[in-house]
Structures are given as structure tokens and as C-alpha cells.
Amino acid sequence: MITGAAGLLGRVLRERLRSRYALVLLDQAPMDAAGEGEAVFQCSITDAAALRRAMQGVDSVVHLAGVSTEAPWDAIRDANIEGCYQTFEAAYQAGVRRMVFASSNHAIGFYPRTRALDGSEPVRPDTRYGVSKAFGEALASYYADKFGLSAVCLRIGTARSPDEPGDIRHLSTWLSHRDLAELVICSIEAPVHYQVVFGASANQRNWWRDDGAQAIGFTPQDNAEDWADRLTATPSDLDPIARNLQGGSFCAWEHPGAGNTD
């Protein structure tokens, strides 16, 4: 199952995984009609009964649904806290084997760019959104340890459309669509109990030297550096808070000291 199947990453994964797996596609937004080997469910991830019906017979859930950027608390709470909980609970009730949770680099966004992370550090969320991703990682750990629902949490960097880095920060954080698909396949199939993995391509300027990727056998192929010559500075490259921290502009949003360019 892919939750959030109508979103950008959901559409990329639908396209790239359909030849390998039978897919159950779930989103509250409308989606293209089910093709061969697909089933489509249009419902909210806060609707526990609908979730449970849709999950019957599902082996793995790739949980992408939710608010994907900073937002007011009630939106984050409903989708990324309550909806995330309902998704894990429904998966457990339905006997799902593996959860692949779309976490985010914003769970650790307040680490400086000079610090190479290996995934074992305490979280340092940069937004309410980042806090909700740290919640999802904790929830995944809880369901794995208590109920045996194994999980891989993907701290995704920047996967975008068009499928290329768009600013200087992305030279470190970019995750190509090809690498995203491979990362998710490894996350579904690796024999692990609970694992945090950074989701980035083989970028020369990568800040994340984790062994999580090794643990699931993920070897990225693409390198954002191929676009380096074409990228120019953006406003967030000038703000010292955004420029120096891994979460970039997410760290500067609502920050009392942001907006200084000296």
C-alpha cells in the first residue's frame, strides 16, 4: 500500500513500483483509476475503519500521506499525528509485516551543515512539521518493539519535480526519483526490525554518512553535483540561519533571529 498516492512521491512510486508489486493506492484526493494489479481507495488516514478495510491482505505500507511542509498546528496534528497513529494502528490490526515511514530531514534540521550525521543522533526538529516526523519515527519504533511491526523510517532529503536539484542546498539533500524508488524497494525487502535511513542520492556534498543505507542494502546512483554549475544562490542561501543549518529555510521560518543577511 502507498498512502498519499496522489502526491508527488506517491505518483513517482506508483509508476516505478507497479511492475514489481501489486499496489493498493490510498489518498483522500482523487487518483487515476486502478490499472492492472492495482486497487484504489479514496479515504482519509484519520478514518480508522476505512483504513482497516483497505489494508486487508497488505504486506507493506509505504506511509507518505500527511502534510509535507510547515503548517499551522491543527493541520499537522490531524494528518501527521492523529492520521499517522491511525495508519500504524490499522496496519498492526491488519497484520501488515513492514511499515516504511516517510520521515524527513526536518526531524534533524537544526544540526549544522558542518556536522556529518550517521542517524544515531538525537532528533533536532526545525518546525512543527519536523516534530511530527520525529513523532512518526518514535511511533514506528514503538510498534516494532511492542507489536513486531517492523519499520524503516526514511529521512528523505529533497525529492522534487522536475527531477533535479533546484538550489545550492539540494546539492547535499537531493534524492532522485530513481534512487527514491530503489530506496523504497530496499526498505520493503530488507530483513530489519527497525531502521532509520537518510534518503539522499550519492551527492558529493552529502551531510549524511549513515550506515542505515548499508543496513538495508541501498546504494544510490545519482549525484546532484552534475547540476552544480547551473545553480545560483537563493534568498535562503543569504540568511545565516537558513544557510548554516541542515534544514535550510525551515529553520528560519518563524525564527526570531531570521531575516539578517550579515
Return the active site residues.
Answer: 129
The binder of ligand 15L chosen from 86, 173, 195, 236 (CB under 6 A): 173
Residue type at 131 in one-letter notation: V
Q: Is 68 in the site for ligand 15L (CB under 6 A)?
A: yes
Q: Is 236 in the site for ligand 15L (CB under 6 A)?
A: no
CB count within 10 Å of CB 32 equals 12
The position carrying cell 513500483 is 17
The binder of ligand 15L chosen from 104, 172, 187, 236 (CB under 6 A): 104
The binder of ligand 15L chosen from 69, 204, 214, 260 (CB under 6 A): 69
Residue 125 or 212: the one with the smaller Cβ distance to ligand 15L is 125
Residues 8-47 that bind ligand 15L (CB under 6 A): none
**Residue 36 DSSP label:** T
Strand order in the sheet with 23-27: 38-42, 23-27, 2-3, 60-63, 98-104, 150-156, 194-199
Question: CB of 110: closest distance to ligand 15L in angstroms?
Answer: 13
Q: Is 203 in the site for ligand 15L (CB under 6 A)?
A: no
Q: Is 105 in the site for ligand 15L (CB under 6 A)?
A: yes
Residue 9 or 96: the one with the smaller Cβ distance to ligand 15L is 9
Q: How many residues bind ligand 15L (CB under 6 A)?
A: 7
Q: Which stretch binds ligand 15L (CB under 6 A): 53-61, 102-110, 134-142, 178-186?
A: 102-110
Residue 149 or 165: the one with the smaller Cβ distance to ligand 15L is 165
- DSSP for 202-251 reads S-TT--B--SHHHHHT------GGGGGGG----HHHHSHHHHHBTTTHHH
Question: CB of 136: closest distance to ligand 15L in angstroms?
Answer: 12
CA-CA-CA-CA torsion sign (117, 118, 123, 128): positive
Residue 14 or 170: the one with the smaller Cβ distance to ligand 15L is 170
Q: Is 127 in the site for ligand 15L (CB under 6 A)?
A: no
Provide long-range contacts, Cβ within 8 A and 24+ apart, for 199-203. 199/154, 199/155, 199/156, 199/157, 199/159, 199/175, 200/157, 200/172, 200/173, 200/174, 200/175, 201/174, 201/175, 201/176, 203/171, 203/172, 203/173, 203/174
Residues 152-171 that bind ligand 15L (CB under 6 A): 158
User: What does the binding site for ligand 15L look like in residue numbers (CB under 6 A)?
Assistant: 68-69, 104-106, 158, 173
